Amino acid sequence: MNVLVTAPYNEAGLLQLKELFGAYTYRSWKENGKAYNEAELISLLKESKAEGLIAELDKVTENVFAEVPELKFVGVCRGMPSNVDVKAATKRGIPVFFTPARNAQAVAELFIGNLITFFRHTIPSIEWLKQEKWDGDYLQAYLKFKGNEIAGKTIGMVGFGAVGQRIAAVLEGFQCTVQYYDPYVESQNPNHTRVSLETVFSTSDVVSIHLPRTEETIGMINEHYLGLMKEDAILVNTSRAVVVEREALVHALKEHKIRGAILDVFYHEPPEQSDYEIIKLPNVLATPHLAGASYEVEDHHVCIMNQALTKWYTQRNLQVPTLYNRKALEAMS
């Protein structure tokens, strides 16, 4: 079996694929400068006579499956296979593999870094220093930029999959109280408390959103829930912007109903003016969708994908019993 790999893959991972399947064709989307479109992907699959595909960004549509009936599996190096027509794959008995925990460590580290940056006023203090505004004694900056510690804070998670749990593990070093809302996950860690969504918003010092984009989650965090937050609480969103109702968030920030927000995702990417209205607010710390942007993430997805494919291929399990439905995807995200 030849496997077409368009996802970024390290040499060790490609060697493992060769040992497992016998051959591979490597055409990373990075070499193309962008994801392959439908026609390009079909052409590559036919040219390489591939029976397996490992992609990251390319759209694997119904037409791809129809034009390349030889496909026996699709691997997606992402937290969810949102770029694959899973229904079309299921209809043909083609398993779809993905890598739900690949960026958990990267997101957890950025979460901690940005939270400290926000609490300690790091960015405004740096700008103040560069602008040569330190014209008083040594206590001037000390008093102007005094902030808060993470230690001892109550952190509430909305969604407690791989990313949320990894953040919780890192927070143990800060002696934080971790509580979460997730109807599909029940933590075995006695230090993590499962609570209602209302409790997360009304009692947390930091509310962190970790929800996939689905019909059920779009606009799920609305005015009601944001209105429950404490005035000195912070909202963090590293998942998908659309799960938070935009107007409710703008109102909460502009009217100082909450202390502020740390955002890594936006309603339009690249941002439009409506996004910049939020980004430029003084109580917002915004980064351009960087939470999963570490070099190590690619090594993680190679490891996770190859382990899953090795198990599947060695068992010769070419059937797809109840391929991942929406609730299963949410539980694994």
Which of these, 285, 272, 291, 280, lies nearest to 120 by C-alpha position? 285
Is 240 among the catalytic positions?
A: yes
In terms of Cβ atoms closer than 10 Å to its own Cβ (0-12, 13-18, 19+), residue 289 is middle
Query: Tokens 């949410």 — which residue?
Result: 330
Question: What are the structural domains, with CATH classification, of the chain?
Answer: 2-98+295-331 (3.40.50.720), 103-286 (3.40.50.720)
pLDDT at 316: 59
What is the C-alpha to C-alpha distance for residues 156 and 76, in angstroms, rounded to an integer? 30
CB contact at 8 A, 308 and 97: yes
pTM here is 0.88
CB atoms within 10 A of CB 55: 24
pLDDT, tens only, 23-77: 999 999 999 999 999 999 999 999 999 999 999 999 999 999 999 999 999 999 9
CA gap 5, 28 in Å, rounded: 7
Digit-coded pLDDT (tens) for 221-280: 999 999 999 999 999 999 999 999 999 999 999 999 999 999 999 999 999 999 999 999
Model pLDDT for residues 120-130, shown as the tens digit of each residue: 999 999 999 99
Residue-wise pLDDT for 294-324, tens only, equals 999 999 999 999 999 999 998 854 443 333 3
Q: Which residue among 78, 102, 192, 240 is the active-site one?
A: 240
Question: What is the rounded CA–CA span in Å between residue 210 and residue 180?
Answer: 10
CA separation for the pair 298, 14 (Å, rounded)? 13
The single residue of 19, 269, 272, 296 carrying the catalytic annotation is 269
